[in-house]
Amino acid sequence: MDAADRGDPPLLLVVDAANVVGSVPDGWWRDRRGAAERLRDRLAADGLPGHDGPVEIVLVVEGAARGVQSVPGVRVEPAPGSGDDHMVELVAGAGERPVLVVTADRELRRRVQGLGAEVTGPRTVRPG
């Protein structure tokens, strides 16, 4: 019996869009919104590589990427202020649900781990 059969909530995957996009110097700074949209589309197509169970994917965007829209499989959350603060709020609101945050930001990692989230780096969702 897997997690879905037991009625367990799906893994909440919170992705730090700015940090993941910025992890590869591919010219993202010329089109921040387009880079976030490409990441969103990759997440929608690939999900969380190596994870077989159900996943709810939340892509947190800020700045010029705030206009990126959600698509089936990926909910886009525009941060009203600090993207890091918004991700911490999402983790804090998850309760007992399992949470995985994708970021390389050391301070954000510390903050969400203090709330019980697991953390992984950008390469988990963006090879290269």
Q: Is the confidence at residue 8, as pLDDT, over 90?
A: no
Binned at pLDDT 50, 70 and 90, residue 4 comes out as: very low
- Looking at residues 58-86, what average pLDDT do you find? 94
Given CA atoms 27, 123, 60, 6 in this order, what sign does their dihedral have?
positive
What confidence tens digit (pLDDT) does each residue in 75-107 have? 999 999 899 999 999 999 998 899 999 999 999
What contacts 92, CB < 8 A, 6 or more positions away? Answer: 115
